[in-house]
Chains A and B, each alone.
Chain A
Amino acid sequence: MALLVVKFDLKKRVKLAQTVWFMYWFAVLAGILVLSLGLFFKIELRKRSELMDNNESHFLPNVLITMGLLACGINAFGGKVCYDSLDPTKFAKWKPVLKTFLVFCMVFNALLILTALLCFIMRIPLQFTLAEGLKNGMKYYKDTDTPGRCYMKRTLDLMQMEFRCCGNDNYRDWFEIQWVSNRYLDFSAKEVKDRIGSNVDGQYLMDGVPFSCCNPSSPRPCIQYQMTNNTAHYSYDHYTEELNVWRRGCRDALLSYYGGIMNTIGALVLLVTMLEVAVTIGLQYVDTSLSTLANPEDIESESEGFLLEKTVKETFTDIMANMKAMGKGAKVEEGGEEGVATVS
């Protein structure tokens, strides 16, 4: 007993073929959309690859680009088949390929679902990459004279201003590294000598942050230096001061930015998957309705379309039996050869 049988006459068949053809063209556009989303994500990752230590994984955008191209190809082919299905002579040349094509489509849909899941999961490795990259970036902030790192300062400053964040976890990360280049330090001054002497590595550490951490919404001019010293500034308490510098860490800011992009892409890929499943089902109906003509010579005769030839259980047992037969077939050959070898 077949699954989800629908009766078709000529008019209904024509309408079905036209609808599925139309949907296939939408699906081609959806494939182009997935491709462009993959490209967009790739470009966004490249833009900030310096902050991720050039170590970021391009696996997800590459997968999206591949799936987009595959979707375009598959859907264009499916559309052509639907267009030809109204003409029996043209359809006859596609008939033998159609079964394998449908199986291929189902595999492709499963891969699409996996891609959507991947979009939501890849956030976690990204988090670690960002943490590493930002820590190193801050270390190289002062190296504006080292070739290869001379733009790190500008990149970090622009990023902190654009994403409204400061430091890795918060602004205190700047207290732990030397972000002022030695070229601008007067080593004969007492203050400099004190600070350098105060830690093991001989670094000029201070309780100050770069100007790009400053928050324009603050009612008072930005306090960048001697931030932990309440007496250094009039009417200032660094425990209660909230608006002076950005309180958010850049790792959080970048992660939520990329996370938002990935969530949107994942949702869109799920929608595309639903469209793909719909067109696959449509093509299955087109195929079966044209194969079960009551009178094969007369195209105006009635036919039945179904989703599966037998019920789900029977189809499953059939597939398992086929696979076992194929496995036994391989074994039988080996056994036969051995038998032959032993006989001779």
Chain B
Amino acid sequence: MALLKIKFSQQRRVRLAQGLWLLSWLAVMCGAFIFCLGVYLKIELLRRDEVMENTEIHVVPNLLMLVGLASIGANWVASRVCQDSLDASRFPRWKVLLLGWYAVAALLCCLLLAVVVLSYVLQGRLEESLKVGLRNGIRFYKDTDVPGRCFQKETIDRLQMEFRCCGNNNFKDWFEVQWVSNRYLDFTSQEVKDRIRSNVDGRYLLDGVPFSCCNPASPRPCLQNQLTDSRAHYNYEYQSEELNLYSRGCRQALTDYYMGLMNSTGPGVLSVILIQLSVLLSMRYLQTAVEGAMALETPEGESEGYILEKDVKATYADVKAKALDLLKFAQVDPASEAAGAEEGEKEAEATAKAATPPPAS
């Protein structure tokens, strides 16, 4: 008893072929869309490459690009099959390919699902990578004369201005790092000497932040230095001042941005999965209906289309039997040699037995 049988007249078969042809071209465009999505995501990740420590998150756009290209190819093949399906002389050559095509299409759907899952699972790894990358960026902020790090200052400044964030977790991260280069410190002045002596590593630490942390929405001109000292500025209360600097940390800002990007692509990817699945099912119906029609005496007559020839259990048993057969075939050769040797022995015994009775008689 076949699974999900549907009767197809000649007209319905033609309609199915035409509809599937259109659907497969739609699926080709969806594949192109997925590819472009992957490219866009990759470019966005590469733009902020300098504040990320590892590239584990790149598996998401890489998979998207791969699946997009494979989907374009597979669905183009499907459209060719549709074009040939109504021509009885050209359809049989696709028969062998179709089994492989089903496997590829199913694999693509699974990969797309995996991408959606991965984009949620890898959030923690992304945060870790950003944490380390930003920490290094803040540490090397002052090294504008060290080759290889001289652009860290500009990168971090532009990042903080664009994403409206300050520091790693918040603006206090800048208090723990020396972010003013030694070239611009007057080591003869008392203030500098005091600050350098005030900590073990001899670093010039101050309770100030770079200008890129400043919030333009603040009603007063930006206060960057002596932030913890309420008396250093007129009408300033350190604990209650909210608008002066950006309150969000850059790690949080970047994670939110990338998670937002990947979440907004979620519905698109899910609908592409649905389209691919419907192409797969329609192709199976078309294949079985056309093959059924070709086997009939009157090719214009009705035929049946189904998804599986027998029901799920019977098909599973069939597949298992076939697989075991294949395995047994591999084992048959050593077994047949042993069997041949046994037979030879038996013959020898038989001839020996035949030889012995005559002396009795």
Contacts and interface: CB of A to CB of B under 8 A. Distances in A.
B176 interface: no
B234 interface: yes
Interface string A125-150: 00000000000000000001100001
Contact of B214 (A180, A184, A211, A233): A211
Given A214-B211, A216-B158, A221-B210, A235 B219 contact: no
B185 interface: yes
B154 A185 contact: no
A273 interface: no
A154 B211 contact: no
B157 A220 contact: no
B201 interface: no
A158 B216 contact: yes
Interface stretch (B52-60, B89-97, B220-228): B220-228
Given A180-B221, A184-B221, A234-B184, A221 B211 contact: yes
Grouping DSSP codes into helix (H, G, I), strand (E, B) and loop, the B interface class, with mixed when no group exceeds half, is loop
B153 A222 contact: no
Contacts of A189: 234
Contacts of A184: 220-221, 233-235
B181 A211 contact: no
Contact of A145 (B144, B154, B186, B219): B219
Interface in B181-205: 181, 183-186, 189
Interface in B202-257: 210-212, 214, 216-217, 219-222, 224, 233-235
Contact of A153 (B145, B186, B212, B219): B219
Nearest to A217: B154
A259 B176 CA distance: 46
Contacts of A285: none
A222 B211 contact: yes
B179 interface: yes
A220 B144 contact: yes
B185 A234 contact: yes
A246 to B, nearest CB: 12
Contacts of B212: 214, 216
A186 B236 CA distance: 11
Contacts of A235: 183-184, 186
B161 interface: yes
B180 interface: yes
A220 B184 contact: yes
A217 B161 CA distance: 13
Contacts of B210: 221-222
A234 B187 CA distance: 10
A169 interface: no
A157 B158 CA distance: 15
Given A154-B217, A212-B216, A221 B184 contact: yes
Nearest to A209: B221
A275 B224 CA distance: 58
Given A157-B216, A186-B234, A210 B161 contact: no
A221 B150 CA distance: 13
Contacts of A180: 220-221
A224 B212 CA distance: 13
A153 B234 contact: no
Contacts of B184: 220-221, 233-235
Chain B's interface size range is 20 to 34
A184 B184 CA distance: 29
A43 B179 CA distance: 41
Most buried by B among A157, A181, A216: A216
Contacts of B211: 211, 214, 221-222, 224
Contacts of A222: 210-211
A150 B153 CA distance: 32
A185 B158 contact: no
A216 B189 CA distance: 27
B208 to A, nearest CB: 9
B220 A181 contact: yes
A144 B215 CA distance: 14
Interface in A189-219: 189, 210-212, 214, 216-219
Nearest to B185: A234
Contacts of A212: 214, 216
A111 B342 CA distance: 106
A161 interface: yes
A183 B153 contact: no
A153 B222 CA distance: 11
Contacts of A186: 234-235
Contacts of B189: 234
Nearest to A158: B216
A210 B222 contact: yes
A161 B220 contact: no
A179 interface: yes
Nearest to A234: B186
Nearest to A160: B216
Closest A-B pairs by Cβ, 8 of them = A216-B157, A157-B216, A219-B144, A144-B219, A186-B234, A234-B186, A222-B211, A211-B222
Interface of B: 144-145, 150, 153-154, 157-158, 161, 179-181, 183-186, 189, 210-212, 214, 216-217, 219-222, 224, 233-235
26 contacts: A144-B219, A145-B219, A154-B217, A157-B216, A161-B161, A179-B221, A180-B220, A183-B235, A184-B220, A184-B233, A184-B234, A186-B235, A211-B221, A211-B224, A214-B211, A216-B154, A216-B158, A216-B212, A219-B145, A220-B180, A220-B181, A221-B179, A221-B180, A221-B211, A222-B211, A224-B211
Given A180-B221, A211-B214, A221-B180, 14 more contacts: A161-B161, A179-B221, A210-B222, A212-B214, A214-B212, A216-B157, A216-B212, A220-B180, A220-B184, A221-B184, A221-B211, A233-B184, A234-B189, A235-B186
